[in-house]
Amino acid sequence: MWRIIFTVVQVFSAFAIIGLVLLQRGKGAEAGAGFGAGASGTVFGARGASTALSRATAIFAAIFMINSLLLTYVGMKVSESQPQTILDQAGGQAKTPAGAAKTPAPNTATVPQPAPAPSSSPATAPAPAAPGGTAPPEGAPPK
């Protein structure tokens, strides 16, 4: 609800700033007013219009900035309460009956175990090659 209220205030203040800026005269228009041209025909007097419009623009700009911070704060609170990932959304849609505990499904897939490595013992290990390039006879002890 606060988000909607802050959004309406944000849009209103943005349009007010745009309108007030368009109503104000530029710096070039004030050069002729220094010599008295057209100053008596204004509603607010010679300086009154620029002061009132500038002050209103500053007020609406402050409202706009504060409201932007409030919208950011409210938006962060809303995003923290919502699911962050697709898995969170899928988990939130799966409903369990009241009182029923969630138990994981049994694992029916069998994972093959790796074959044990053959043990090497000194009696069955092959003898190292002789320095001459030939292997020693089977019954001979190594040098």
Q: State the pLDDT at residue 31.
A: 57
What residues make up the domain containing 7? 1-27+50-82
What is the number of structural domains in the chain?
1
| Domain presence at residue 59 | yes
- Per-residue pLDDT tens digits for 80-132: 766 667 777 777 665 555 555 556 666 666 666 777 776 665 555 566 665 66
pTM for the structure as a whole? 0.45
| Domain presence at residue 42 | no
Give me the sign of the Cα torsion angle 136, 139, 142, 143. Answer: negative
Q: What is the CA radius of gyration of the chain?
A: 42
| Domain presence at residue 57 | yes
| Domain presence at residue 88 | no
